[in-house]
Amino acid sequence: MFITAGEKLFGRVDRVPGRFYIATPFLFFCEFPIFPGRSYLVLEGTQVDPTIFRKGSFVGFSIYWSFKSILMAWFRAVLAFVGSAGGVLAPLMYLVYFRDTSNLQARYIAVAATVVAFLCLMAYLFTRWLELASPRRVMALARHLEGKYPKAALVVQSYLNEIGLDPSTAVPGQSQGTGEPSAE
């Protein structure tokens, strides 16, 4: 087994399939993100994961620290750790139980570990769904990037123009000024 360490992108959020997403490079140890760097708007399909022989690379634009990306990276790492522990513990405890069926504590631990592993898997799949950006979120991202990060804002705005939304207008479903949903 290799013990890996280095820098790699984690915490993919605000993903527009086929276009871009926001991710944060982390210093990692054994695929567990430890220290975050500055977040990037990464063009989808350009990321090359690091291996033993090459450094990872991607095409993207440096942006602000995305706390959403950082928290997602750490949350997924905890899910992976706890889910893996449950996935390893469950079969071992089932073996202990089936060797001695009178050991009810082993059965309870095995069932609990199975449930924990399953819940971690479901939570991870839910985070994959959460990483997708809604049109409203993409518009907010375009407005947020507009002043300080013009290259990244251009990528987001070109996508919005392509789907027929103008980032300078109000958020869809909101009336001007009041912040209440419009009657349209």
pLDDT digits (tens, 9 = 90+) for 151-180: 888 888 888 888 887 766 644 444 444 444
| Per-residue CA distances from 155 to 23, 80, 124, 127, 135 (Å) | 15, 32, 28, 24, 14
The predicted pLDDT at position 182 comes to 39
Domain boundaries of the chain, sorted by first residue: 75-130
Mean pLDDT by 10 residues, the chain (184 residues): 78 90 90 90 77 69 89 94 92 86 86 93 92 87 84 86 72 44 41
CA-CA distances (angstroms) from residue 1 to 4, 30, 125, 180?
9, 10, 26, 56
